[in-house]
Amino acid sequence: MASETAFTAGLPELLVLRLLRDREMYGYEIVQAVALRTGRVVAPGEGVVYPLLHALEKDGALKSRRKTVHGRSRVYYSLTARGEKRLSALAGDWTALHNAVAAVLAGNTHAV
């Protein structure tokens, strides 16, 4: 995914978890969906999505299965209950961060 700073840490994870909440996908599909849904603002180096998927699966946030569709065998990933909780937590953090940054950009003088 895109190189991370302290502010963007967790962004790739958030996007992947959110996409997989809708339906199971394989790596190539996930990368295309991220690029499409973010208007290519987030355009990861495509192969680096797999370490993230493996790590999320190891943490129990995702599960995977090999499935053959149209004669092509691929590893499909889907969200687990633990992944749902992680998604909610990450989405909450990002919403808070987004609101805070928006307030600063709007020139508000009050603490957020």
Partner 1 sequence: MPFEALAEDLLKGGVAPRHVRRYVRELDEHLDDLTAQQRAAGYDGEDAAIRARARLGDDAELVRAMLEQPGLRSWPARLPWLVFLLLPPVLTAAVGLALYAAAYFIGDRAARIHAVLPLPESGMVGFSVAAMAAINVLAVPVMAAVLAVLARRQRLKPKWPLLGIALLLLATPMLSSRFGHGHHGSLGLNYGLVIPGRWPVVMHYWQLMLSHLLALLPAAWLIGRKRAA
Q: Which positions touch partner 1 (CB under 8 A)?
A: 26-28, 31, 45-48, 50-52, 54-55, 58-59, 72-75
User: Which residue, 51 or 92, has its beta carbon nearer to partner 1?
Assistant: 51
Q: What are the angstrom distances between the C-alpha of 72 and each of 67, 76, 81?
A: 8, 12, 28
- Closest contact distance (angstroms) between CB of 74 and partner 1 is 6
Q: What are the angstrom distances between the C-alpha of 50 and each of 31, 32, 38, 72?
A: 10, 14, 19, 18
CA distance linking residue 91 with residue 15, whole number of Å: 9
- Closest contact distance (angstroms) between CB of 105 and partner 1 is 31
User: Which residue, 27 or 83, has its beta carbon nearer to partner 1?
Assistant: 27
User: Which residue, 20 or 31, has its beta carbon nearer to partner 1?
Assistant: 31
**Contact in structure between 44 and 34 (CB atoms under 8 Å):** yes
User: Which residue, 39 or 47, has its beta carbon nearer to partner 1?
Assistant: 47
- Closest contact distance (angstroms) between CB of 31 and partner 1 is 8
**Contact in structure between 103 and 86 (CB atoms under 8 Å):** no
